[in-house]
Each structure stands twice: as structure tokens, then as C-alpha cells.
Chains A and B, each alone.
Chain A
Amino acid sequence: MNSLILRTTTMLLITILLLFSVFLLLRGHDLPGGGFIGGLTAAAAVALYVLAFGAEAANGMVRVRPRALLGVGLTAAVSAGLIAVLFGTPFLTGHWLIFDLPGSAEVKLSTVLLFDVGVYLVVVGTVLTMLFALEGQ
């Protein structure tokens, strides 16, 4: 699709969309969002890029092979489960590290977040694998 308007808007939107996908991922535990939704948003952003610039350019922008994302994502999710086992709790039990920041803010790191990151990566990897396989010939 050779459209100047689409290309220009895509260039503007892509960064925002990708950042927004990470935002959705991170806020997911307390507000609408999460790994699935974040991953789909990121995948939709790349799909937009594919429509505007073609699969090859998109492939170059993503830099990693989507198939690698599948492996990394699944590994992250399983590791999140195994960390719980290391603590002597059942597989996939959540473990949390909470840091208090000045001004009543706090940062919560957890195996649950790691798990959600894994979900995010698998979703992005799946959609992009299909997308690039369809387009890249």
C-alpha cells in the first residue's frame, strides 16, 4: 500500500503504540491491560508498519526474529513458575519484591510480572511469525 498519508501517520504512531503496549503490560495487574492485551497492541502496531512499509522493512525494524520471541517468552513464563519452586512453594506461586519510593509511590517486581512479560512476548511472537511468514517470501 503505497500511501504517503499512511506512511507519515505510521511513523508518528508506531512509537506511541509500542510504548502504549508496554504501558498496558505494566499496568495490567491493577487496571485494564496485561500481557495478552499489550502483546496484541504491539503486534497491531507492527502490522500497521507492515501495511505501510512492507514486511521486509518491518522485519528490519523489529530486528529480532519473531520465532525467537516465542522461545524467550515461553522460557520467561516457565522460569516465573520455577522461581516459585526454588522458594519451596508450588509451581507458579507469585513472589513479590516491593520497593517504596519517596512520595507514597512504590515499585512492585514479581514473578507474576515476569510471567506476564512471557505472555506478552509469546503473543507478539505468534502474530509476527504468522505475519512475516505470510508476507516475507
Chain B
Amino acid sequence: MLIAVLVGFAVALVAPLATQRLGDRAGWWLALLPAGLFAWYLTYLPAVAAGGSVSEATAWVPRLGVTLAMRMDGLSLLMALIVSGIGVAIVIYAGGYLKGDATLPRFYLILLGFMAAMLGLVTSDDLISLFVFWELTSITSYFLVGFKHQYADSRASALQALLVTAGGGLAMLAGFLMIVAITGSTSISGLIADPAPLLASPLLPAVIVLVAIGAFTKSAQFPFHFWLPNAMAAPTPVSAYLHSATMVKAGVYLLARLAPVFAAEPLWVWLLSLIGAATVVVAAGLALLRRDSKALLAYSTVVALATMVMLIGLGGEYAGAAAMVYLLAHALYKAPLFMVAGSVDHEAGSRDVTALRGLGRAMPFTWATALLAGVSAAGLPPLFGFVAKELAIEALLDTRAWLLVPLIGSGAVLLLIAVLVAWRPFAGREITAPKAVHEAPLSMLIGPLVLASAGVVLGFAPYLVGDALLVPAAAAVIGAPYAFDLYLWHGLTPALGLSALTVALGVFLTWRWRALHDALRARMGGSRFGPAGVYQRLIDGLVPFAQAFTRRVQPDDLRTHLTVITAVAVLATGLTGLVKGSLSLGVAHQPGYFYEYMVMAVVVAAALAAVRAHRRLPAITALGVLGFGIAIVFVFFAAPDLAITQFLVETLIVIIVALVLMRLPRHSLREEDNRAVRAVAGTVAALGGLLITSLTLAVTAGPLDARLSDFFAAESYPSALGRNIVNVILVDFRAIDTLGEITVLVVAAVGVYALLLRRDTSRDPDGVEPPRGSATSDGGDA
């Protein structure tokens, strides 16, 4: 299973080259990847249909117990087949949709990369690797939503989708880490097999809420629903694939996967069913405000996802089965509907459902596809969508009947949306469209047509997927095998009556839509209210806040930087030290040699000279003398490496600073500073000195723990063939630290270089940036 994911990533990497070589036919060739994966996943069908599962594991980070464990059961297989199967249609469709577009190679790279990540997500049996794949889908989604990055709208939507879904992913990671801390294992199947430790933990509510936040953000549940309609800024193949059929189902998948663990917890049941119900109501209501076909479909996707969340939350055999059937049905009708909307946009030049009429005359095949998918979306017989909806109604009748109210209300809205997208633009004698309309090319017809036809076939013959796929998938959600049969005709049941009621409501809504829509738009259109407004205010406020904060603590002059850094260090360390009582100023007097006192006197004199200096050069020179004095102390106490380094560093600092100073105008330090500034700087410096002194005294007061130095002394030659312990530590024992340090050096050097280059360009009269920093006369006594 891992190999399938890796092949997916590998093909994604070569896809740009292949696309450039193959030109317009690239889509057909690249579709071989999802087609091959689909066929490969089908080979798991017999084992899964028999009620079993297939597992494999590859060690990844053995020290942390993270394995790339993969597991194929009914739920994973259902998702994997949806992802790869719809992937075939999408890859071919995108070849036609973005034909001749220079960005097509990049598009395929990200799209196929997403597919591989999504397949990894649904087959992972390890919490950590699931999280990694999860965030990979968020990141690829970010690139795809912002694909038309020249538009500010696209960029804002992409960032919103990323911040919401990746942010939720982090909440989910926190929940996962709690699970790992409680159970001591990252295995998902292990957790499902033995959830007792987790269920007994006092952290259980936190785990449930955090994991649910991850799922809700990904699957666009209230109050995080707002990113999904905005994500329609993506090219239509992306909307059809990521934002209806696959990625947004990751949240539903996660909830379904963990349902057997939490099913008995009231918090889980209430959280999922209430949030699901709230989302259904909110999304169905907001859909009435929209007339853009993709936005309408986005809201209907949110409704469908919320219905699944609700069903999973309710739990029980019926609900679990209904959720899985709904999952498949939704993927089969929503992806084609999106592609139809994209074809209409592509060939007729608009997505406004009120601006288009009579397209069916010019686009008969597209219309046929739209009708097949639309009838299924509306939940009408004899299509698969009807089977799914009937089952959902029955599940609710069986458990919490009051949840039928949002379900039936939203069912009416779904029917309305299906009519608006699949009927209204096509019907009529006269063609009305912004541009000359013609039929979509074969590449944009075949995928949606096949998917929509599958809805018809499965409507008449649901048993084709029932026992083999949906029963094992439902078993994974329910946590126990549960056999059910799917029928188109259930007989004259209460569910059928409620279905009829839904249709009647939907027809009424469709009839009155225009008036209702205009009235609602007039009242609420355009205002940004609710969670989307909160998000916007957060983002709008964050940047100015960061700027103001940065201006305050890191203004242009270096002196304030140093003051702030020192003050924070002194306060944080000093307060901790005071609270913990670990600071000490007690001096145990030890007699020293007279030359030690001499060096000390030199150091103190140099410090005083530096403080009292009127000009920069003497001040720097005095600091150099101070540094040399410290280095001599190192010599006294037998640390030659440290001493040499200190000597060299002090020398270089004096040289470099002298070079800087030569370029600065002569200024008296006293003239620049007023008393208040000097007082603050002096206080901070004194406190800093006091803290370091006290820390040093505290450290040396206790007995020295010699275990480390003894180890290094003993092992230096035998293990590392070196007699200079300092160097052996640097380049062997702790070489990875050194590697980090020299990397920091390189980054710092590049930074300095870039800053100095910038200074030169900022003198450019055309430059936007004003001259700033220590290069100006007022800034720097560096």
C-alpha cells in the first residue's frame, strides 16, 4: 500500500516534464496513474469483501515508534477507490479544461501530489503518518486554491483555506499526541482494538474536542464552513476533486475511522450530531444567497458533509451504513456536477445561473450528464442518491427523529441547487450566454458522464457495491460486522413519505426561489458576518499588531534591540531564579594569585573606560581590552582553546567595528544620549551583570557534576582518536550541534551580505525604502 503512495508521488514529480513533452494528450496519459492505482486497489476487494483487512508496516522513525503502517479495510478501500477512480476523470478533464495553459505542468504536479497524499491519508494505520499526509493535503490544497495566483482573491482564499485546515490539523495533532501519551502507541487499529485506556483517561473530553476540530475544519463544518465556498477560486477540476469528492471528506473519514472508539461517549455523539445539524442549517440557508453555480455546489457539499458527520455522530448500525452509502453517492454525483459547472463556465462564459438559458441546445451531452448527476443530487429515484437519502432518513427515524427537520429542510435546498445547476441553465428554446456556446470536448465529457452513469447503474443495482464494498466499510464505522441490503424500492415506508415531503418542499422552494433569493440578497447580501467576519477581523488585526509590536521592540537602532533583548533575558531568568530561590550572591572567598588580581583590575578599568568614553573608537578599544582580560583568565584556568578563540574573536570584532566606525560621522556619544536613555541602558546593563554574576556564583557554589567531563576525558582517545577534548566534542561527540552552529553562521553571513546590498539599493533615488539602520548617522554606535 505504501508503494502505491510512493508511485503516486514519483509520477507527480515527473508529471511536469511529461506534460511538456506530450502537450494536449498529457491528460489522457497521466490518467493511467489513477487508473492503474484504481485497478490495483480493486485487487484488495476480495479480501476486504470477505470481512478481512490487509496490513503492512515499514519502520520510519523507529526511535519514536513511528511506523509507516498501512491498513486496508472496507472504509480505506472505499475512500481509496473514490480518490483514484474520480482521479481518472479529473486528470482527463483537467487536460481539456486547462488546454494550452502554460501552467498545466505545474498543475499536474500538485494535483497528482495531492492524490498520492490523500491515498496515504486513507490507508494510514498510524496517527503520526496520518497527520503528515493530512497536512500534505492541506498544503497541496493551498497551492491549488491559489493556483491563479495573479488574483488577490485567489491568494486570500488559498491562505484562508490553509490557515483553517492546517490550523485544525494542529489541533488534531495535539489530540493525537494525547492519545499517544495515554495509550503509548501510535497505531490506529491498535486503538480501535483496545480503547479502554483512552476511554478511562480524564483527558478524553479534550481528545474528542481536538480531534473533532481537526475533522470539522477539514470537512468545512460550522463554524469553520466559510473557507470551502471561498476555495471555489480554484480551477474547477480542483473544486470537483479536492473540495467535493476527496479532501473535504478527510474529516468525515477521520470521524468514521474513530467512531468505534468514541461511539459510546455522550460528548462525541452530541458534538457531532449538533455541529452536523447546525452546519446543515447554516449552509442550506447561505446557499439561498448564492447564484454562482460553483458556490451553490460548494454549499451543497457542506450540507452533504454535515449530514455524514451527523450520521456518524449518531452511531448505530443504520447510521453507520447510511453514512457510507451517502459518502459514495455524494462523490458520484457531486464531482460530475462540478465538472458540468466548469464546462458551462468554459464553453458559455458564465457561472451565474440566472445569466444562462437554453444551453442544452448547444451542449446536449453536457446536459445529459448534468441531468443524471442532478437527479441523483436531488435525491430522486431511481438514482443512487435516492437510495442514500432514504437510508439516512431511516437511520434518523431509528435514532433521533428530531434531526429529520434539518435533514428534510436541507434536502429541499439540495433539490433546489440541483435544479439551478443542472436544469435551469440548459432548459429553454433561446440560447442566452455571454459568449458563443459550443459543446465541451471529449476529454471534458467522458469523465463526468461515466461517473454520473455509475449513479444510475448503482441506483438500479445497488447490490453491485453493497456486499463487496459498502458492508465492509460500514463495519469499520460501526465497529462490528453488519450485513444490510440496499434496495431502490423499500416499499411504502415512513421514509418514503418523508422523501416525498422533501421533494414537495424542494419543488415549492424552486418555484419561489427567485423572489426569495432577491429578498434575501437585498437584506443580507455582501455583509461579512458570522465566523467569516471573525476570521477576517483576526487576519486584518494580526498584521498591524505584529507591525506595531515589532516597531516597538525592534526599532531601527541597535541600542534599543540590545536593551530589549537584555532586559527580557534578565527579567525572565532573574524572576525564575528569584522564585525558585536559585540565585546567590554569597562569595566564598578564595585567595588568588596577585596576577589574577592584576587582570581583574585591568578588566574593571577597561569597563569603566568604555562606559565613560566620549567617542566610539575609544569605547570599542576599551571593550577589546576587557575581552582580552577575560581571555587571559581562561589561560590561567587551563582552557587554551577557549582563550585562543576569545583572543581571535575580540581582535576581529575590534577590526570590523573599526571599519564600520570609519564610515560614520564623528559624534560624541554624550551628545547623542540624553540622561534618561543612559539611565535605562545603565540599569539594564547593571542588572544583566548582576544576574550573570549571581548565576555564576550559584553554579560554582554547588559541587561540580563531573560525569560528563569524566566521560569525555575517558572516551576522547579510545572512541574518537583525539587528545584535545574540546575539539573532539566539537567535531565528533557533539558534531551535530556544530553542524547547526556553522549553518547559523552561514545564514548570518548571507543575512549581513543581503542587508549591506540593500543599503546600497536604498540609496537609489527610485528606491521605495527610506535609508534606515545603522548605516545612517543617527543610528549607530554599534
Q: Which residues of A contact B (CB under 8 A)?
A: 28-37, 40-41, 43-44, 47-48, 50-51, 66-67, 70-71, 73-74, 77-78, 81, 91-92, 94, 96, 108, 110, 112, 115-116, 118-119, 122-123, 125-127, 129-131, 133-135, 137
B719-744 interface bits toward A, Cβ cutoff 8 Å, 1 = contact, 0 = none: 01111101110111001101100110
Instruction: Tell me the bound Cα distance from A40 to B653 in angstroms.
Output: 11
| Contact A70/B749 with A78-B739, A81-B735 known, Cβ cut-off 8 Å | yes
The verdict on B660 contacting chain A, using a C-beta distance below 8 Å, is yes
The verdict on B753 contacting chain A, using a C-beta distance below 8 Å, is yes
Contact call A37/B648, Cβ cutoff below 8 A:
yes
CB-CB contacts below 8 Å: B598-655 with A = 640-641, 644-645, 648-649, 651-652, 655
Q: Which residue of B lies closest to A32 (CB)?
A: B640
Query: What residues on A are CB-neighbors of B739 within 8 Å?
Result: 77-78, 81, 92, 115
Instruction: Tell me the bound Cα distance from A35 to B742 in angstroms.
Output: 11
A-B pairs, top 6 by smallest CB distance, nearest first, are A40-B648, A29-B722, A32-B640, A126-B749, A34-B727, A30-B723
Contact call A130/B749, Cβ cutoff below 8 A:
yes
Contact call A135/B659, Cβ cutoff below 8 A:
yes
Query: What residues on A are CB-neighbors of B753 within 8 Å?
Result: 67, 129-130, 133
Instruction: Tell me the bound Cα distance from A131 to B730 in angstroms.
Output: 26
Contact check: which of B648, B727, B743, B745 meets A44 at CB < 8 Å?
B648
Query: What residues on A are CB-neighbors of B652 within 8 Å?
Result: 40, 43-44, 47, 127
Query: What residues on B are CB-neighbors of A73 within 8 Å?
Result: 742, 746
Q: How far is the CB of A2 from chain B (nearest CB, A)?
A: 13
Contact check: which of A30, A37, A44, A116 meets B651 at CB < 8 Å?
A44
Q: Specify which of B727, B732, B753 lies most central, judged by the most chain A CB atoms within 10 Å of its CB.
A: B727
| Contact A41/B648 with A78-B739, A130-B656 known, Cβ cut-off 8 Å | yes
Contact call B721/A108, Cβ cutoff below 8 A:
yes
Contact call B724/A94, Cβ cutoff below 8 A:
no
Query: What residues on B are CB-neighbors of A50 within 8 Å?
Result: 655, 659
Contact call B749/A31, Cβ cutoff below 8 A:
no
Contact check: which of A29, A40, A43, A74 meets B742 at CB < 8 Å?
A74
Q: Which residues of B contact A (CB under 8 A)?
A: 640-641, 644-645, 648-649, 651-652, 655-656, 659-660, 720-724, 726-728, 730-732, 735-736, 738-739, 742-743, 745-746, 748-750, 752-753, 756-757, 760
Contact call B660/A134, Cβ cutoff below 8 A:
yes
Instruction: Tell me the bound Cα distance from A32 to B732 in angstroms.
Output: 16
Q: Specify which of B641, B644, B746, B749 lies most central, judged by the most chain A CB atoms within 10 Å of its CB.
A: B749
Q: Which residue of B lies closest to A31 (CB)?
A: B724
| Contact A29/B727 with A92-B739, A96-B721, A134-B656 known, Cβ cut-off 8 Å | yes
Q: How far is the CB of B525 from chain A (nearest CB, A)?
A: 56
Query: What residues on B are CB-neighbors of A48 within 8 Å?
Result: 655
Q: How far is the CB of B126 from chain A (nearest CB, A)?
A: 23
Contact call B720/A94, Cβ cutoff below 8 A:
yes
Contact call A31/B723, Cβ cutoff below 8 A:
yes
Query: What residues on A are CB-neighbors of B736 within 8 Å?
Result: 81, 91-92
Contact call A32/B760, Cβ cutoff below 8 A:
no
Instruction: Tell me the bound Cα distance from A32 to B644 in angstroms.
Output: 8
| Contact A28/B727 with A51-B655, A91-B736, A129-B752 known, Cβ cut-off 8 Å | yes
Q: How far is the CB of A64 from chain B (nearest CB, A)?
A: 14
26 contacts between A and B (CB under 8 A): A28-B727, A29-B721, A29-B722, A32-B640, A34-B724, A34-B731, A44-B651, A44-B652, A47-B656, A50-B659, A67-B750, A70-B746, A73-B742, A74-B746, A81-B736, A91-B736, A92-B736, A108-B721, A115-B735, A115-B738, A122-B742, A125-B749, A129-B749, A129-B750, A134-B659, A137-B760
